[in-house]
């Protein structure tokens, strides 16, 4: 028997400082994909882990997990048949094996090593598949640590604005790195329409750092975007960095099914209005967000709709040291 279309619908988990809610669906309209290659990982401040296995929510208890430490991640599998789902599940297994981490460089090294190990295993098995990975490691009392590969995204949202906190690893970003695309054209290609191509994925590898318009092969090593190689208009949006969390903002991690639309900005501009009511729980905000997404998919006739996975976070107690300002994508 197939599992329900919506996964992870549990009440938001509250810790000393965070409220978190999450959901993964095969198809926001029930008319799109019939399988789900997305996945998520939520490890709360008591070491209780939740993720998908064969499209069903699975629970685990991590031993020796430090109190108040969180790990949340969204993954979007890619590959024929069920290989994309397998890539995402294998990555989640690797994330569950990692101890809690409090330093961004340690996190980068640990996840790069996980990518390298899984890359070799998948290559040996003859599988050309991988997944995106957007992850926040949130130590108690300190800023979150961000790690990002692919075209899943992180956003910060309040009642007035939406700030994208990551840069998609897509061909347009490759062109921008080569100095062949300015900020206006980059935004039009990345944020003003849907993209189907990706230039870097966990397990699969990367063409993002190749100094050529037409890479002939996929590099095994992941290519990190940072202020030393990003164009000026994307500075401050590196893939591996600290990310202070501020009260008054809701943080959103999602797979690209959330903006798989003919006109994604029309939908994204609605988010501050949807999130205005601070009295609503994050679970109720997820209901609103998925209902609005389904409406836009039907109105724009954007079919078939994609798998969609969302994690929402909100600071509800003592906040990590932070600023209300984020680098702004033009």
Host H or E run for residue 251: strand 250-254
Q: Give the chain's domains with CATH numbers.
A: 6-170+237-315 (3.60.40.10)
Provide CB contacts within 8 A for 162, sequence distance 6+. Answer: 155, 156, 268, 269, 271, 272
Quote the pTM value.
Answer: 0.92
List the structure tokens of 309.
């996975």
Classify 223 as helix, strand or coil: coil
Q: Which of 72, 69, 77 is nearest to 46 (CA)?
A: 69
Lowest mean pLDDT among 128-142, 266-280, 300-314: 300-314
pLDDT in tens, 32-75: 778 899 999 999 999 999 999 999 999 999 999 999 999 999 99
Q: Cα–Cα–Cα angle for 324, 310, 140, nearest 5°? A: 50
In this model, does residue 151 exceed pLDDT 80? yes
Token pair belonging to 226: 């940072």
Q: Please answer whether residues 234 and 167 qualify as being in contact, where contact means their C-beta atoms are separated by less than 8 angstroms.
A: yes
- Residue closest to 264 by CA, chosen among 170, 164, 146, 197: 164
Cβ 146 vs Cβ 165: under 8 Å = yes
Q: List, for residues 223-241, the tens digit of each pLDDT value.
A: 999 999 999 999 999 999 9
Helices (H), 233-317: 264-268, 271-274, 282-300
């Amino acid at each position: 028997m197939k599992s329900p279309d919506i996964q992870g619908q549990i009440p938001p988990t509250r810790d000393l400082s965070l409220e978190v809610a999450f959901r993964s669906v095969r198809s926001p309209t029930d008319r799109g994909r019939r399988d789900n290659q997305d996945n998520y990982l939520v490890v709360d401040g008591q070491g209780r882990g939740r993720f998908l296995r064969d499209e069903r929510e699975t629970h685990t208890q991590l031993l020796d997990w430090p109190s108040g430490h969180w790990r949340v991640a969204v993954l979007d599998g890619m590959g024929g048949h069920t290989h994309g789902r397998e890539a995402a599940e294998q990555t989640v297994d690797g994330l569950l094996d990692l101890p809690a981490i409090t330093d961004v460089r340690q996190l980068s090294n640990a996840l790069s090593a996980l990518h390298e190990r899984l890359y070799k295993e998948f290559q040996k098995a003859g599988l050309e598949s991988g997944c995106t990975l957007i992850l926040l490691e949130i130590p108690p009392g300190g800023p979150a640590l961000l790690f990002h590969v692919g075209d899943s995204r992180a956003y910060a949202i309040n009642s007035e604005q939406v700030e994208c906190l990551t840069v998609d690893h897509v061909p347009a970003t490759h062109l921008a790195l080569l100095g062949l695309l300015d900020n206006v054209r980059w935004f039009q290609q990345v944020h003003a329409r849907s993209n189907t191509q990706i230039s870097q994925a966990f397990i699969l590898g990367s063409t993002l750092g190749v100094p050529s318009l037409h890479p002939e092969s996929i590099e095994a090593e992941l290519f990190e975007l940072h202020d030393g190689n990003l164009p000026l208009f994307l500075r401050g949006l590196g893939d591996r960095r600290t990310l202070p969390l501020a009260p008054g903002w809701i943080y959103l991690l999602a797979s690209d099914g959330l903006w798989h639309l003919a006109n994604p900005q029309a939908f994204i501009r609605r988010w501050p209005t949807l999130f205005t009511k601070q009295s609503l729980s994050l679970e109720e905000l997820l209901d609103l967000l998925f209902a609005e997404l389904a409406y836009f998919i039907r109105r724009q006739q954007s079919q078939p709709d994609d798998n969609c996975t969302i994690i929402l976070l909100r600071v509800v107690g003592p906040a990590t040291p932070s600023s209300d300002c984020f680098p702004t994508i033009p």
